[in-house]
Amino acid sequence: MSCFSFFSLLPLLLLQTSIATVAHQDDLPNLHSHRSPSRRSSKPNTVFQVTKPIDVPNTVPCKQLLLEHDFGSTMGKPPVVVDYNGPPSHCASYNFSKIVLEWTGTCNGTQGHTIFGVWLDGVELIRSSPAQTPGLNVSVAWTARKDITRYSSLLLKKETQKLAVFLRNMVYSVFTGVYHITIGVSFYPSPNPKIITDNSGFEFVSNNIADLILPISRNVESKDGLWFPIENSTDEKQIKEFKIPQNAYRAVLEVYVSPIDTDETWWSSYPAGFYSFNHKLLGGHGDGPFRDVMIRLDDVVVGAIWPYPVIFGAGNDMWNPVASIGCFDLPSYDIELTPFLGTLLNGGIHNLSFGIGNAVSVWYIDANLHIWLDHQSSKTTGELVSSNTEPLHLSSTLAMKGLVMESRVEAQRMISSQGWVQSSHGKITSHVTQMLHFTNNMYMAFDSVWNYSSRVEQFTLLNDSISFVKNSSTVPNFLSFDSVKKFALSNKDEMVPSSTEGDGNDVQRTDIETGYDDEKTCNNLESGSVMTTTLKDQQIGNGVWIVKNFSWLDEVLDMKQLYNYKNVGDNSKVCYLRSIATTNATIVYDKEDVKC
């Protein structure tokens, strides 16, 4: 999986995704397509991802180089492993308020499907897809930066830990690219060393940095990375056993999951009924476009993930120099496990397992279990009050006549749990609810390799609600976290054959829209304070290719992106907006704004 494998597929495999319209199209810059001359040059092709700059304090960072390595053929090999001994000794202060990981890569050559991960003591810090060169004899350079402050309990340990890095790559006569990778960390000292006391009654959740992080991954010596490979829908991975300290009062499972190879474009997978009649002609696979990632604790379902459809593309300049949404920092997904602490605190050994409904080879999955400890007590107690997982409601319709097909897949699921924990913070009752909804509409009409039309529209709605109630002799305190995520994708492809009286050139057109919307609200009913964070990220791409005798003669590729972030609290506002447009790998419009 690389950030540029999307358009390398031949027409029959171009049934790639699309999505319901994302808002704010009027805010995007108007752009008129035009052809540009050849863009091949000896200069490195620098690719970047549009995202909000990381907020760092106005202090001098203490920097540390972790790894510099050339990744050639790595398939079937273990990751590169080096020792990590905590922040460097030359740091003026060890009271850090922000820690940032920076991955810099360059490559000169052609690459196939690639993905990389970085683990510290088995805990995954970042997962990403490297940039890929847009053509032969063109080098590429890119940088991925990530705020890894939430992993501070590991990063600040004053003991030797193993840092493992795996970049999946193969080098032979066709794929010649070797990746030169540099990984570093910047530790930013806090400008205010004073300890801020939380008097809201919810100090137990005000600290988003866990005291302990347990790796739910494979051993560091494992070949092809520390993630667990899931080959199909019946391949459920029984994760290694774990045991938590007896003074835990909160638990969150952070899950990384992403596809590669056959299932890289899972959202465009043909319905089984259509595929079974036409598989010899179509190629690909027919498992449908829905993927249901299930997480089980001791064989009990505790959460589900319906992943964001990251677009990985190659072979053209649609996503050049701007990478697709989420490509350089693949999203992780949090599952609140605090209601289940009553079970986990029994002193026994427990296990987690992962499964993916309708999966095709291969999905990589692992997790980090974040644990918060009560430093005022050696023992906390709790009870799981209820746990309910409603059956998956999955419906599908299929209409077809020959190689004309229309289908619709719809899925819904709800998972909820409730439990309490008694600690020095008091008796806290937590209630967690996940509500998930998914739709995929697909159309395809195929006459020949040079005469076809396809359309996919997909939408995922995720509603997560977490509430904490602190019992007291007066009115109970109440704190809630609500998250609404919307994943949208729409893709239209067509190939128009040449006229018998024309020039013999065929025209291929692609229109694609992707959207990632996330709105989070924190509400403290006792104090009346409310904080809302919203992110609306949208990309619109249009491509036209002139084709003759299986060769691309010319292309016109436009891409527009609008990234809009807002964080609004009682007495503060933080905003960041960036609007950017490219044509044939050249930036033609770029505007940033931090005004609210």
Q: What pLDDT, in 10s, does the model give residues 300-326? A: 999 999 999 999 865 556 888 999 999
Residue 65 CA to residue 88 CA, distance in Å, equals: 10
Tokens of 434: 């996940």
Measuring CA to CA, how many Å separate 95 from each of 100, 155, 194, 376, 490?
Answer: 14, 12, 10, 22, 46
Alpha-carbon distance values, 104 to 142, 294, 304, 499 (Å): 6, 33, 33, 48
Residue type, 295: I
- With a pLDDT cut of 90, the percent of the chain lying above it is 68
* Section 529-544 average pLDDT: 96
pLDDT at 21 over 80: no
The whole-number pLDDT of residue 548 equals 81
How high is the pLDDT of residue 26? 40
Query: Above 80 in pLDDT, residue 398?
Result: yes
Q: CA–CA separation, 34 vs 199, rounded Å?
A: 59
Q: Picking from 14-28, 91-105, 281-295, 331-345, which range would have the lowest pLDDT averaged per residue?
A: 14-28
Average pLDDT in the 340-355 region?
A: 96
Q: Does 148 score more than 60 pLDDT?
A: yes
Q: Residue 432: beta bridge partners? A: 417, 466
Smallest CA-to-CA distance from 207 within 194, 221, 219, 197 is with 197
Written as six digits, the tokens of 25 are: 């199209």
- Stronger pLDDT, 448 or 224, i.e. the higher one: 224
Tracing tokens 């913070």 back to the chain, one arrives at 425
Half-sphere exposure of 198 (CA within 13 A, CB side): 12
| Total residue count of the chain as it appears in this document | 596
Q: Count Cα neighbours of 229 within 13 Å in the Cβ-side half-sphere.
A: 13
Question: What rounded mean pLDDT belongs to the chain?
Answer: 87
Choice among 25-34, 308-317, 361-370 with the minimum mean pLDDT: 25-34
Confidence check: pLDDT of 106 > 70: yes
Q: With beta carbons less than 8 A apart as the criterion, state whether 560 and 580 touch.
A: yes
Pairing of strands 451-470, 477-496: antiparallel
Give the residue-averaged pLDDT of 237-262.
93
Instruction: State residue 284's pLDDT score.
Output: 60
Confidence (pTM): 0.92
Task: Measure CA of the first residue to CA of the last residue in the chain; give whole Å.
Answer: 37
Domain boundaries, the chain: 6-192+201-593
Residue 40 has pLDDT above 60, yes or no: no
Range of 165-179, 185-199, 271-285, 575-589 with top mean pLDDT: 575-589
Percent with pLDDT over 70 in the chain: 84
Secondary structure of residue 217 in the 3-state scheme: coil
Residue 14: is its pLDDT beyond 60?
A: no
- Per the CB < 8 A criterion, the answer to whether 353 and 238 are in contact is yes
Taking residues 99-112, what's their average pLDDT? 90
